[in-house]
Structure 1
Amino acid sequence: MPQIQQTESGTAQLMPLCVDLDGTLVKSDTLIDSLLVLARTHPLLLLRLPGMAFRGKAPFKAFVTENVALDVAHLPYNRKLLQFLQQENARGRQIYLATGADTQLARRVADHLGFFHQVLASDGTHNLTGSRKLLSLRQSLGGIDFAYIGNDTPDLPVMAGAAESMVANPSRRLRTKLRAQGIVPSRAFEERSQPLNSLVKALRPHQWAKNLLVLLPPLLAHNHSVRLFASALLAFFCFCAAASGTYLVNDLLDIEADRRSPKKRLRPFASGDLAPSIGLVAIVLLLVIGFAAAQFLPAAFSFWLLVYVGSTLFYSFYLKRIALVDVVVLSGLYTLRLLAGGAATTTPISHWLAGFAIFLFLSLAIVKRFAELESLRMSGTQLKNGRGYLMSDIEQIRAFGTASAFAAVVVFANYISSQDVTTLYHHPQRLWLIVPFMVLWLCRVWLLAARGELDEDPVAFALTDAASLVMGVAVAIIVLLAI
């Protein structure tokens, strides 16, 4: 379709270009993004949403926008489309933002990008979508031809009335209806990953390594029963399902904060590659599957799984923003896996294992937080993660973490010296060879964190790092020699 049209005076000018916001210029839905931020920052206001929805879509959008100042600078813009719009603006083409989003948000987006000639949006009374958007565009443009870029079926009336239609990450429904009406888009701006791949990434399967802790109680008790091992594997499966569900909750609530992070902005929800609606369905399914499978294990396991999920959700909604409390809770979640593994296999947890786990996992939780702060400090990025920490806390956090690491070593050394170890090992003195490997690994983790080279959970890191695996094999050999 032609981009140039003749004016009444006979001069040629570029046809006005109109673009939708949600799902088009931005890969996500800004209303859903705002609702997620509202759930995290003002959860009590969620109680007012049903009443506002009853008043209509436009008042509902206005209410949400008034209570949430969405960070428009870090929205997941469609970069291909954004580059095209910037090029067209440089050519002197008038560009209009025509969106069903509330006008307050739409104007903030327009002000940030700086190339829109005019903004047409919902005004708190009228919801500017479909035919109403088409009418508004015709009135604003004086009836002249225009080009329009959309992404879903609500854009269909506007695309049918436009002289030129383009699409950005079009839905399957829109493609089907465009073909049915004989509308052929002149350009397509595709920038998204496959939903299935994005969902798998959001489940964080690499983090399932932490759930291997449920296998430790029967292994450390030297109980090699096939039945108990099968129970431990089922417990591992339950924790993987439940943990992935809580990861999705965490990512949805942190969607805006993640977009400000150089690394976390690539997460599926933050990047706009995965729709929150898919995440909500997946959360329900994963939790149902996890707790349904738990019914085949002792009731005590279901209790610990429930405590884990409840603690994780409370952490995601509130506790993660309280300095030090967050790392204590994280270390507790590691220890919960041990308790759940003991419950699933009816294996008692010794006071030695409990004490060792508390100090070790506290150190690993702190090193994770330390690594995040160190990475921000080295990159010169301003601290905006809402964790409750200051950049000046970094040395004190290092002290807390390293002290806890060596406390774990001391507990292990005392265990080796106790009478309890003689009931499980014929050569307990050989276990002393494990101590230098523990010290080496913990010091290495903290050294990498100080260098800004530890960019993942330390437990998951241990299962992918070559040096850690070598030390792990060495420790396993020592344990076998001590039995």
Structure 2
Amino acid sequence: MTQGRDVALVVDLDGTLVHTDLLIESAFVLARERPHNLLRLPGWLRRGKARLKDEIAARAELDVAHLPYNRELLDFLTQEKRLGRRIVLATAANHRYAHQVAHHLELFDDVLASDAHTNLSGEDKLAAVRELLDDAPFDYAADHDDDRAIWAAARETILVGATASTDRWATSETRVARRIEREPGGARTWIKAMRLYQWSKNVLIFVPLLASHDLLDGRTLVAAVLAFIAYGALASSVYLLNDLVDLADDRRHPNKRHRPFASGTLPVAHGVAAIPILLLIAAVIAVFLPPLFGAVLATYYVVTLAYSMGLKRVALIDVLTLAILYTLRLIAGGAATGIPLSFWLLALSMSLFLSLAMAKRCAELTLVQSGQTSGGGRGYAAFDIDALKSLGTAAGYASVVVLALYINSPDITENYRHPVFIWLLCPVVLYWISRIWLKTMRGEMTDDPIVFAARDTGSRICIAVGAAIVVAAAL
């Protein structure tokens, strides 16, 4: 009778040993590192899926050391290895990645994987396993319905994060020896992935409405709300795309490694499917708003894509782009409601958000200096932090100067009954900018100053005082 330790244990890779899909990950690495090669994907695919995987793997390097491995399965494999069991990695992933994973883990005696000619899945994988083992019995650990033929031929089945339907089939058709569950990503996980809290930044869309004192106008208010939702859906699609492009960087970051896709809580394939759905929602809403809003929305998307794909790694251009993206929210609000924007508002926005973008980079460089992260491919060195602090505080104080000049302009007397009160905004904004930078220089700033301000008590007080000043000036 064959003992368990004398039976080879065959293990799948994608979705089983790792909580991700290496083909999708490598495609996004290619998009980031060599975007011009994306035009060649259809041609590679026409020559077969195996050729597609091989061409991508030849050009896209994966950081296998930081992949989201299934820790429970790894513990089980380690235990079986100590008992002297033969363990085989059999995967449809490209052989380059499979051998890199095997070398990193040092658990596998043999590796079976796809090459340029054969996509090793289903019956092809089963044939390769039988040939390797000379038709000897084996156990098989996997997660997907594509593995049914191999499970059916195995002595025992190990289900790893299998769906309910797959579990029912395996229970009735095979001998299930072990189940390793995977906690599904629910609504809260999707909320985190879509960064719904970041929708708070889109309140800038309402600024033109507030500045014109038309907040109670039903038509413009509805238009602003629709614009807010459209911008939120578009921004969430970009956040998902950005997370998929930055998987390797995020996994090396002390905080970002917990993001749903980086940690493997959400399958990367689900993120790929969600992106076009969110884009469609934004596009449908834009149809009901003025064409100029649609143009601004499209511009925001193009600039954001450019930022995600490369501009965020170019020093100074990255922070200028962030300032432009925030200012585009103001322009979108004006386009959706038909309210013209003043030069002063746009100038104030650029200066203020340039300052906050530099505070964001300083917070990241603080982590670099402390050794908590390598910098994530940004275009800065750790010693650039002093220059950024100088530039960032200068931009912040420049925004206060712009505000003071605006207060002295004819626009103020036209919109406020007591314009002298508006002068009180200057010390409030000056204090708030100084507070932001004091927190940054102390190393207390998070990687997003806007989110920090929304949660910071001192910032909330400044916002409340500023709102009271504006109301008092208008009455």
Shorter-chain TM range is over 0.9
Cα shift at 1:99: 1.1
For 2:81 and 2:57, how far apart are their aligned partners in 1?
28
* Residues 80 and 191 in structure 1, CA contact (< 8 A), matched pair in contact too: no
Partner-residue secondary structure (3-state), 2:370:
helix
Q: Is 1:463 the counterpart of 2:454 in the alignment?
A: yes
For 1:58 and 1:18, how far apart are their aligned partners in 2?
21
* Residues 152 and 173 in structure 1, CA contact (< 8 A), matched pair in contact too: no
Cα shift at 1:409: 1.0
Name which of 44, 60, 63 aligns with 1:71.
63
- Matched with 1:204 is 195
Q: Which amino acid aligns with 1:141?
A: L
Q: Which amino acid aligns with 1:208?
A: W
Please list, as runs of the form range in 1=range in 2, the aligned pairs for 1:327-476 lying within 5 A after superposition.
Answer: 327-383=319-375, 385-476=376-467
Cα shift at 1:352: 1.4
For 1:192 and 1:449, how far apart are their aligned partners in 2?
37
Name which of 2, 26, 29 aligns with 1:5.
2
- Matched with 1:229 is 221
Please list, as runs of the form range in 1=range in 2, the aligned pairs for 1:225-304 lying within 5 A after superposition.
Answer: 225-304=217-296
- Matched with 2:96 is 104
Cα shift at 1:288: 1.9
For 1:218 and 1:444, how far apart are their aligned partners in 2?
28
Q: Is 1:311 the counterpart of 2:303 in the alignment?
A: yes
Cα shift at 1:154: 1.9
Segments of structure 2 that go 5 or more residues without pairing to the other structure are: none
Segments of structure 1 that go 5 or more residues without pairing to the other structure are: 7-11
Cα shift at 1:255: 2.1
Cα shift at 1:158: 1.6
Could you report, residue by residue, the CA deviation over 1:244-277 in whole angstroms, capped at 9, with x for unpaired residues? Answer: 1221221222222222222222222222222333
Partner-residue secondary structure (3-state), 2:18:
coil
For 1:354 and 1:69, how far apart are their aligned partners in 2?
42
Could you report, residue by residue, the CA deviation over 1:428-452 in whole angstroms, capped at 9, with x for unpaired residues? Answer: 2222322222122222222222333
Q: Which amino acid aligns with 1:459?
A: I
For 2:246 and 2:328, how far apart are their aligned partners in 1?
24
- Matched with 2:206 is 215
For 2:192 and 2:130, how far apart are their aligned partners in 1?
43
For 1:367 and 1:50, how far apart are their aligned partners in 2?
42
For 2:466 and 2:175, how far apart are their aligned partners in 1?
65
C-alpha distance 18-249 of structure 1, shift in aligned 2 (>3 A): same
Find runs of 4+ consecutive structure 1 residues off by over 4 angstroms. none
* Residues 371 and 449 in structure 1, CA contact (< 8 A), matched pair in contact too: yes
Q: Is 1:321 the counterpart of 2:318 in the alignment?
A: no
Partner-residue secondary structure (3-state), 1:328:
helix
C-alpha distance 14-440 of structure 1, shift in aligned 2 (>3 A): farther
Q: Is 1:44 the counterpart of 2:36 in the alignment?
A: yes
For 1:303 and 1:260, how far apart are their aligned partners in 2?
37
For 1:63 and 1:213, how far apart are their aligned partners in 2?
44
Could you report, residue by residue, the CA deviation over 1:208-262 in whole angstroms, capped at 9, with x for unpaired residues? Answer: 0110001011211222323222221121111111111221221222222222222
C-alpha distance 13-216 of structure 1, shift in aligned 2 (>3 A): closer
C-alpha distance 125-435 of structure 1, shift in aligned 2 (>3 A): same
- The TM-score with structure 2 as length reference comes to 0.94
Partner-residue secondary structure (3-state), 2:90:
strand
Question: Could you tell me the percent identity over the aligned residues?
Answer: 45
For 2:28 and 2:163, how far apart are their aligned partners in 1?
23
Q: Which amino acid aligns with 1:255?
A: L
Cα shift at 1:98: 1.2
Cα shift at 1:172: 4.1
Q: Which moved more, 1:93-102 or 1:104-113?
A: 93-102
Q: Which moved more, 1:324-333 or 1:12-21?
A: 12-21
- Matched with 1:171 is 163
For 1:298 and 1:127, how far apart are their aligned partners in 2?
49
* Residues 152 and 174 in structure 1, CA contact (< 8 A), matched pair in contact too: yes
Q: Which amino acid aligns with 2:446?
A: D
Cα shift at 1:180: 4.5
Q: Which moved more, 1:356-365 or 1:422-431?
A: 422-431
Could you report, residue by residue, the CA deviation over 1:79-135 in whole angstroms, capped at 9, with x for unpaired residues? Answer: 111122122222322221111112121111000111211111123222222222223
Cα shift at 1:470: 1.9
Name which of 130, 144, 149 aligns with 2:136.
144
Cα shift at 1:59: 2.4
C-alpha distance 39-436 of structure 1, shift in aligned 2 (>3 A): same
Cα shift at 1:150: 0.5
For 1:473 and 1:152, how far apart are their aligned partners in 2?
53
For 1:417 and 1:50, how far apart are their aligned partners in 2?
59
Cα shift at 1:184: 4.2
Cα shift at 1:13: 4.5
Q: Which amino acid aligns with 2:208?
A: P
Cα shift at 1:338: 0.7
Cα shift at 1:19: 0.8
For 1:129 and 1:396, how far apart are their aligned partners in 2?
53
Over aligned residues, Cα RMSD in angstroms?
A: 2.0
For 1:38 and 1:407, how far apart are their aligned partners in 2?
40
For 2:32 and 2:448, how far apart are their aligned partners in 1?
23
For 1:158 and 1:476, how far apart are their aligned partners in 2?
66
Name which of 124, 129, 133 aligns with 2:121.
129
C-alpha distance 433-402 of structure 1, shift in aligned 2 (>3 A): same
C-alpha distance 417-49 of structure 1, shift in aligned 2 (>3 A): closer
- Matched with 1:9 is none
